[in-house]
Chain A
């Protein structure tokens, strides 16, 4: 076993670390703490946060990569170890080899036979056409009719396990948090549901393809889970690349005014006047040409996909800062007229100190709201970009690639619906959780949009 550190793995851990630091810092401020208290004192806040953390946790597990050592081939020197070209992650191990059970082509959820007929030979050597049985589904059954009874029995056992594990996990939390003022019970219900589902999925997947298989015969449920890392990482990384640009330029424009303001305004008007999708497409295409011309930079196929993925994040970040920059500029203009900033000026406080101590903390709520809102927008955009052909590398698991690969299959008879369902479902849960959470954050942090609940 040889660990392999992709650039994006490193970045995702750095990101999570930086975000934790940021939130710890925010906690020190009593007003901000009050806002967060408001967010988490709702049941919805607890549920959505739990879901988001589950997704992030899966993404983190999927970011610990290594290459398996190959079995030594007879005749080769014993001390030399060769490593598999396929990269495995800790998540793959936890899923119990779900991704290694390939079929020939499409198969429906819980199916025993393949979706397409094939020429086969019977015992006497005659050729006939029929649906060939799957290699990794229902092989333990003696009669195909036992299938649903078997699924029900295995589900029952899995659910019992799930409930047992949930009880352990939740019991431990209950001991710690029973005096907490927050509605933890909502979070615990969510955790129990997620744990039961995960245990059920992993144990059933050893005998059946829960969401069927796709064109290449790969398990769809596995692909959807692998898409989580891509979605989460793209959303956070692109937003975090965009934030420093937008915040620096916006604050400077609003504070210094004059020619600085003119230049920044010119920059963001120019950038936002270019149709966003064309700019992204052009940049990605140009980067693709660069990769094609320099193939020697990358040793494993996944590294190439990883480079393209990082480039995409970078491009999305660099092209999307204009709207946040505009918001921050307007807010800074307003704040820099206020009494305490004027007073700081009168006392001779330096520009740098005013910007850092008086202005920046007062635009933090805008940054926070934008961060969560942009995250969900980017997850959705990934699917669209992959469809256009300028998204994630086709070799990398992502919901966009799954949708792109399956969109023409609805015209088949009978319909191949499971690939789309898997991708859309996993994407929908993440985006919905992020959107609902961002609504709560905005209600808590932005005094003006409080109309939703406070005025009645």
Chain B
């Protein structure tokens, strides 16, 4: 097991290098630091001196890959590629374009993100599975057909509609919770209730439909017919036979998401004013702060790879026949 995990971690390195190179190409080769300086300074104030000063201040005045003016190893280390891109591997994210330390920002902002994303994730899965099981019990009846129709309808509604509608109905008309904001100490649940609710409801359509397909695929298997022939009740078949066997596809879809919960949701956080990583990214995109975007791309890909490894490990727990070696 441990050997497997270590091997998988080594496989992750080329992928991270690929991510790193891709972002480097996007941010420095396609668009030169000069272009960035111009768009950061604003068209009106562009003078060659100002561009140079901006580049020096933010450390973009180095050559891209090879610095011929420096002796020895410094020729490779004193370059933009090394200082801006390779240092990400040491979790040294540097400073944002506005001068704040990205590492501190990330470590303080990931907890509010998690506070919203984790309950949404757990409650969402629970609700989706319950709804799907219920629909599967009434399979091939009129109820089932209408339920699928409703799921597709829920899927077709824009996520923005759920958020705006939820804020309008629950927070503005009924005045049950504040419209937006976040407070870690005093009654945090009050601020979390609505975002979590909206997140769960918005996910029901696609989620329950997906679980229904999984369960139905299992319920057409031979072992289900055998169990039915032996006189097992429908409830028992559903919970003791179908659910455990559907676990592998469920895990495939679900476990990958767990590590990325730290990243939070872009829309939910910005609408509800939660100071998490999602709104951090959004602010960075709006302010065209490429240093933050670069760091977040890197963190996001690490979390995704961790999720892939976790998925493999979770298989051995769900299915004892599987061995990882």
Partners in one complex: yes
* In the complex, B79 has a CB within 8 A of chain A: no
* In the complex, B51 has a CB within 8 A of chain A: no
Minimum CB–CB distance for B206 against chain A, Å = 10
Minimum CB–CB distance for A379 against chain B, Å = 9
Cβ-defined partner of B22 (8 Å) among A272, A274, A384, A439: A274
Cβ-defined partner of A274 (8 Å) among B140, B282, B301: B301
* In the complex, B304 has a CB within 8 A of chain A: yes
Residues of A within 8 A of B290 (CB): 282, 285
Given A281-B293, A289-B31: A384 and B160 within 8 A (CB)? yes
| Interface SS of chain A | helix
Minimum CB–CB distance for B174 against chain A, Å = 14
Residues of A within 8 A of B164 (CB): 403, 407, 410, 420
Residues of B within 8 A of A389 (CB): 285-286
A278 close to B39 (CB less than 8 A): no
Given A410-B172, A451-B213: A274 and B14 within 8 A (CB)? no
In the bound complex, what is the Cα–Cα distance between A96 and B214 (angstroms)? Answer: 51
A424 close to B161 (CB less than 8 A): yes
* In the complex, B297 has a CB within 8 A of chain A: yes
Residues of A within 8 A of B167 (CB): 410
* In the complex, B43 has a CB within 8 A of chain A: yes
Cβ-defined partner of A435 (8 Å) among B18, B155, B288, B300: B155
In the bound complex, what is the Cα–Cα distance between A279 and B19 (angstroms)? Answer: 11
Residues of B within 8 A of A279 (CB): 297
Cβ-defined partner of B159 (8 Å) among A283, A380, A388, A411: A380
Given A275-B263, A275-B296, A282-B26: A411 and B172 within 8 A (CB)? yes
* Total contacting residues, chain B, CB less than 8 A: 54
Residues of A within 8 A of B159 (CB): 380, 384
Chain A, range 260-311, C-beta contacts under 8 Å to B: 266, 269-270, 272-275, 277-279, 281-283, 285-286, 289-290, 292-293
A289 close to B293 (CB less than 8 A): no
Residues of A within 8 A of B38 (CB): 289, 293
Minimum CB–CB distance for A385 against chain B, Å = 10
Given A273-B301, A283-B26, A456-B140: A432 and B153 within 8 A (CB)? yes
| B136-161 to A contact mask, C-beta < 8 Å, 1/0 | 00001000000011001101111111
Cβ-defined partner of A278 (8 Å) among B35, B43, B172, B293: B293
Which of A273, A285, A388, A410 has the most chain B CB within a 10 Å cutoff? A273
Chain B, range 286-307, C-beta contacts under 8 Å to A: 286, 288, 290, 293, 296-297, 300-301, 304-305
Residues of B within 8 A of A436 (CB): 149, 152
Chain A, range 391-424, C-beta contacts under 8 Å to B: 403, 407, 410-411, 415, 420, 424
* In the complex, B168 has a CB within 8 A of chain A: yes
* Total contacting residues, chain A, CB less than 8 A: 47
* In the complex, A137 has a CB within 8 A of chain B: no
Residues of A within 8 A of B157 (CB): 424, 428
Chain B, range 35-84, C-beta contacts under 8 Å to A: 35-36, 38-39, 43
A387 closest partner in B (C-beta): B160
Which of A380, A448, A451, A456 has the most chain B CB within a 10 Å cutoff? A451
Cβ-defined partner of B18 (8 Å) among A266, A285, A455: A266
In the bound complex, what is the Cα–Cα distance between A279 and B23 (angstroms)? Answer: 9
Residues of B within 8 A of A439 (CB): 148, 152
Given A274-B297, A387-B267, A388-B285: A435 and B39 within 8 A (CB)? no
B304 closest partner in A (C-beta): A273
A275 close to B156 (CB less than 8 A): no
| A345-387 to B contact mask, C-beta < 8 Å, 1/0 | 0000000000000000000000000000000100010011001
Residues of A within 8 A of B39 (CB): 289, 292-293
* In the complex, A75 has a CB within 8 A of chain B: no
* In the complex, B101 has a CB within 8 A of chain A: no
* In the complex, A199 has a CB within 8 A of chain B: no
B156 close to A428 (CB less than 8 A): yes
Chain B, range 254-279, C-beta contacts under 8 Å to A: 260, 263, 266-267
B168 close to A376 (CB less than 8 A): no
B263 closest partner in A (C-beta): A275
* In the complex, A452 has a CB within 8 A of chain B: yes
In the bound complex, what is the Cα–Cα distance between A82 and B304 (angstroms)? Answer: 57
Cβ-defined partner of B217 (8 Å) among A285, A383, A424, A448: A448
B286 close to A432 (CB less than 8 A): no
* In the complex, B318 has a CB within 8 A of chain A: no
In the bound complex, what is the Cα–Cα distance between A278 and B168 (angstroms)? Answer: 29
Given A388-B282, A420-B164, A436-B152: A278 and B158 within 8 A (CB)? no
In the bound complex, what is the Cα–Cα distance between A272 and B22 (angstroms)? Answer: 12
Residues of A within 8 A of B152 (CB): 432, 435-436, 439
Residues of A within 8 A of B19 (CB): 270, 273-274
Residues of B within 8 A of A380 (CB): 156, 158-159
B156 close to A432 (CB less than 8 A): yes
| B158-177 to A contact mask, C-beta < 8 Å, 1/0 | 11110010011000100000
Residues of A within 8 A of B43 (CB): 292
In the bound complex, what is the Cα–Cα distance between A362 and B155 (angstroms)? Answer: 29
A424 close to B158 (CB less than 8 A): yes
B160 close to A278 (CB less than 8 A): no
* In the complex, A449 has a CB within 8 A of chain B: yes
Residues of B within 8 A of A388 (CB): 266, 282, 285
* In the complex, A431 has a CB within 8 A of chain B: yes
Chain B, range 103-159, C-beta contacts under 8 Å to A: 140, 148-149, 152-153, 155-159
A275 close to B160 (CB less than 8 A): no
Minimum CB–CB distance for B197 against chain A, Å = 17
* In the complex, A390 has a CB within 8 A of chain B: yes
Minimum CB–CB distance for A363 against chain B, Å = 20
Residues of A within 8 A of B168 (CB): 410, 415
Residues of A within 8 A of B286 (CB): 389
In the bound complex, what is the Cα–Cα distance between A411 and B155 (angstroms)? Answer: 26
In the bound complex, what is the Cα–Cα distance between A293 and B36 (angstroms)? Answer: 10
Would you mind naming 20 contact pairs between A and B with Cβ atoms under 8 Å apart? A266-B18, A270-B301, A273-B15, A273-B19, A273-B300, A273-B301, A274-B22, A274-B297, A278-B297, A279-B297, A285-B288, A289-B35, A289-B288, A293-B38, A383-B158, A384-B267, A387-B160, A407-B160, A436-B152, A452-B216
14 A-B pairs besides A285-B288, A435-B152 with CB distance below 8 A are: A273-B304, A274-B297, A274-B300, A285-B285, A285-B290, A389-B285, A390-B285, A403-B158, A403-B164, A415-B168, A420-B161, A428-B156, A439-B148, A455-B140
